[in-house]
Structure 1
Amino acid sequence: MNLLKKTNTLFLIVIYLTISCNGKQENKIKSEENSKIELTISDTLKWSERMALSIIKRHPKLWQVDDNKNPKWDYKLGLLSLSFEKLYDKTQNQKYFDYVENYAKTVIDSNGSILNYDIEKYNIDMINAGKILFDLLEKTKDERYLAALKTLRKQLEGQSRTESDGFWHKNIYPNQMWLDGLYMGTPFYAQYSAEFENGKFFDDIIKQFELIQKHTFDPQTGLLFHAWDESKKMEWANKETGCSPNFWSRSMGWYAMAIVDVLDYLPKSHSGHEKLVGYLNQLAIALEKFQDEETGLWYQVTNMGGKEGNYLEASGTSMFAYAYAKGVNKGYLSSSFKDVARRAFNGLITQLIKVDEDGEIHITQVCGSAGLGGNPYRDGSFEYYIGEKIKIDNSHGLGPFILAALELDK
């Protein structure tokens, strides 16, 4: 009997030690993942690398950016990943490529299945991160990325459309096209069509821009409203035009980036090329009029700079700086617009970038999120846009800042 008791006691001790060790190991892993990397960031580096290293320092794993508790497939993380891919192309620093590849392997399994992805939701935001897969496939030859690319392309095949043939933003937002959605879907669509379909669907891509221009363009300001409801049934929709009521800088930033990125894959011989360049110039001319003279930045609600509560916003400004600079570099815009981009970027680094003693940098005054409809209801009013949370180091601003810095070679 005593021997049996001793045996049981010993067995319980072994179990306790095993659980305890495993728990400590798990906590150690979590601690390592969540802890900052000790790193001093030199101010002699270009702004693109200073920001990238600051991000890595704060978040050793890319999926942790925005203080995410778990890995996820996400349009914002896709945007940030894309900026790191471009930075790797420029610097050939393996650290930047590894940061992206580690994220991709975390959210895409060996069979190409994408974490937290549900094709049946037909959420066009989910397409955006797919842009990083082309480069990963080319460099690694890992077939998981091809499988994931095909899955995302399949979503576009089944994406719900307006009667006039525009992609719905999401199934839960019927009959609606948002400026954001052009960036989420069309650059991926254009690159896939160029690389795998011999450009077969370029006309469909141009159609998306034509619809947005036709229905959201405001002839008085030259700006574009955030969204359009073809059915005109949404509470936020103008009952005559279907447009949302205000101009949001980041939504036009998404749109401007969509144009310059789609043009990477659209040959000059295609009739849509000249059309997109025309849209870009039209927007570039209009936006310059609303650039803050003192700082070079743009306001959250673009055309209401003097209205109480409005603020100079980092993500929209970064996106505009990128689109202007790339537009000039590619020959789509007059060289005079490079000064607009420089003023914007200089405004960011003097007004909205904060530098720690160890060189770590932070981007401030980033609108955390904004949309239309949903629950709680978002009415697209001025008060709504200025009332959304303002964040520091939010990924909406991080990726575009790096992209703008690269285009300006800052």
Structure 2
Amino acid sequence: MKKVLFGCFCFSAVMQLCAQSNETLVRKIADQIINETKLGFEGTENKQFYASSKDIPENTKVKYASPYTGWHYTHGVLNMAMINLGNYLNEPKYTNYAAQHVAFGFDNYKVFQQRFKNDVKHYTYPYGEFFTMDELDDFGAMSASIIEVYKTVKKPEYKEYLEKAAKHLTEERLRLEDGTFVRKFPYQNTLWADDLYMSVPFLARMGKLTGQNKYFDDAIKQVINFNKYLWDADREIYWHIWYSDLKRNGVAHWGRCNGWIMLAQIHLLDQLPQNHPKRKELIQLLERQIVGIARYQNAEGLWHQILDKNDSYTESSCTAMFVYGIAHAVNQGWIDKRYASIATTGWEGLKKHKINELGQLKDICVGTGIQDNLAFYYNRPVGLNEKHGTGPLLDAGVEILKLEKSGK
């Protein structure tokens, strides 16, 4: 077992963190994210700050002023989590965070669209994802978050964007013959587990927003098909990928991709009509995953970067995702309340080992592609309050607060 040595100050900080109420901690986490967010741009060479894209001189290269500024699926995850938190606590500053982030994107993307319209590397400049929609990463989760913002901010440009994104998703994206979403890389028609989250939460919300069953039908088809291609019945967890050319899976049961699959199912069930004929089957698939995931939780309540490899590091984003998904399923009454202990144990593990005194989450795996060797997954770097983990952490915190309130 890995030994962790604490100095007196560090040990004291951990004890203070564990002693404070969960609501105080969740507010601290959210407030720290707000403190780290700076909407604007910074010159890559002159380091000058630009509050608006219109202030950036021609031929001046810029980057986002903070990691939380951009237009990436992780920002969509965080926006929805902030709205979730704000609604639960009746705290406008959290819901306003998401509204301001979306508004800033709409106010600034056109400058970059005009200046870089012939640049094919859309990820090399701000807001390239906004107007290219090259991958599901670029618009799926962000569109889902725009729907949440649109519930209170009825801007016509938001609706126009959503209609464009929905048309692109349902009519133009690359799919297998059975309709399953796939990518062109690293090989043609590669199925990524991540893409269930990049598509289903948006599809489900479009179904709710428009009342059109075609979106629900597509979302359900994705969940069932992803299970068909990626579920490992022996280990009872999911593979990261499936190669259609080789007709086989990859090599890794990556933690976060299993988290994305769980969250996608949660979002679908949240939006799906209560009397939908496929609802029972979807809950059964979710419960199957929860039982499988539970068998890989370690003694500290955490999950590993590679779920079935205990010598890989304990990873915070997947742990937060599983805490959220399991607690939410219990809170909604989809699964038996005895499963709640899995989530609460995971939350306590995060508090004790992964959240520092500022409310920042440690050991979040950075963005991860695909490789056919486990060493790639073992050696992925980690970040502090890295954008892939903070949204799921807030969602986990909200569900833990609901568990506390209900006494489950």
Q: TM-score range by the shorter chain?
A: 0.7 to 0.9
| Paired residues of 1:226 and 1:251 also in contact (CA < 8 A) | yes
The alpha-carbon deviation at position 109 of structure 1 amounts to: 3.5
The Cα RMSD (Å) is: 2.7
SS of residue matched to 2:238: coil
TM-score normalised by the chain length of structure 1: 0.79
1:59 matched residue in structure 2: 37
Deviations 1:26-67, CA, capped at 9 Å, x for gaps: xxxxxxxxxxxxxxx995543321101011122244999997
Which residue of 1 is the match for residue 119 of structure 2? none
Q: 1:135 to 1:212 in 2, by over 3 A?
A: closer
The answer to whether the 8 Å contact 1:62/1:100 transfers is no
**1:124 matched to 2:136:** yes
- In the other structure, the counterpart of 1:33 is none
SS at match of 1:177: strand
Q: Which amino acid aligns with 1:298?
A: W
Question: Distance between the aligned counterparts of 1:320 and 1:67, measured in 2?
Answer: 31
Is the counterpart of residue 74 in structure 1 residue 79 in structure 2? no
Deviation track 1:60-81 (CA, whole Å, cap 9, x = no partner) reads 4499999747943111111111
| Paired residue type of 1:395 | K
CA distance in 1, matches of 2:67, 2:256: 26
Residues 1:153 and 2:166 are matched in the alignment: yes
1:180 aligns with 2:194: yes
Give the AA of the match of 1:174: Q
Equivalent in the alignment of 2:323: 321
Q: Is the 8 A contact 1:112 1:143 kept in 2?
A: no
3-state SS of 1:162 partner: coil
Change (3 A) 1:111 1:68: closer
Instruction: Measure the CA separation in 2 of the matches of 1:391 and 1:77.
Output: 16
- 1:316-344 deviation digits (Å, cap 9, x = unpaired): 00000000001111111111111000000
Q: 1:221 aligns with which of 228, 235, 240?
A: 235
User: Hey, what's the Cα distance between the residues in 2 that align with 1:170 and 1:111?
Assistant: 26
Counterpart amino acid of residue 280 in structure 1: L
In structure 2, do the counterparts of structure 1 residues 118 and 403 end up closer, same or farther at CA, with 3 Å as the change threshold? Answer: closer
Count of residue pairs brought into register by the alignment: 348
Displacement of 1:347: 0.2
Please state how far the C-alpha of 1:299 moved relative to its aligned partner. 0.5
Correspondence for 1:366: 364
- Aligned counterpart, 1:237: none
Amino acid at match of 1:124: L
Determine if contact 1:319/1:401 at 8 Å carries over to the other structure.
yes
Matched, 1:289 2:295: yes
**Structure 1 position 274 matched with structure 2 position 276:** no
Letter in 2 for 1:326: H
Of stretches 317-326 and 77-86 in structure 1, the one that deviates more from structure 2 is 77-86
Contact kept in structure 2, 1:62 and 1:77, CA below 8 Å: no
1:334 is the counterpart of 2:336: yes
Which residue number in structure 2 is paired with residue 15 of structure 1?
none
Where does residue 376 of structure 2 map in the other structure? 384
After TM superposition, list the pairs within 5 Å mapping 1:71-220 onto structure 2.
71-109=69-107, 115-117=127-129, 122-126=134-138, 127-156=140-169, 157-169=171-183, 174-220=188-234
- After alignment, is 321-330 or 160-169 more displaced? 160-169
Bigger shift: 216-225 or 194-203? 194-203
1:345 matches 2:357 = no
Alignment of 1:10-89 (within 5 A): 43=20, 45-61=23-39, 68=66, 71-89=69-87
Q: With structure 2 as the length reference, what TM-score do the two structures score?
A: 0.79
CA contact (8 A) 1:111 1:144 kept: no
Q: Within 5 A, what are the aligned runs for 1:225-244?
A: 225-232=239-246, 241-244=247-250
8 A Cα contact 2:38 2:66, kept in partner: no
Q: Which AA in structure 1 matches 2:329? A: G
How far is 1:119 from its partner? 6.0
Structure 1 residues 182, 162: CA separation in 2 closer, same or farther (over 3 Å shift)?
same
What are the ranges of 5 or more consecutive residues in structure 1 without an aligned counterpart? Answer: 1-40, 233-240, 373-377
d(CA) in 1 for partners of 2:71, 2:211: 25
- In structure 2, runs of 5+ residues without a counterpart are 1-16, 43-62, 114-126
What residue in structure 2 maps to residue 301 of structure 1? 306
Deviation at 1:354, TM superposition (A): 0.9
Percent identical: 25
Taking the aligned partners of 1:110 and 1:316, their CA distance within structure 2 comes to: 32
Contact kept in structure 1, 2:80 and 2:148, CA below 8 Å: no
What displacement does 1:255 show? Answer: 0.4
Larger gyration radius, structure 1 or structure 2:
1
| C-alpha distance 255-102 of structure 1, shift in aligned 2 (>3 A) | same
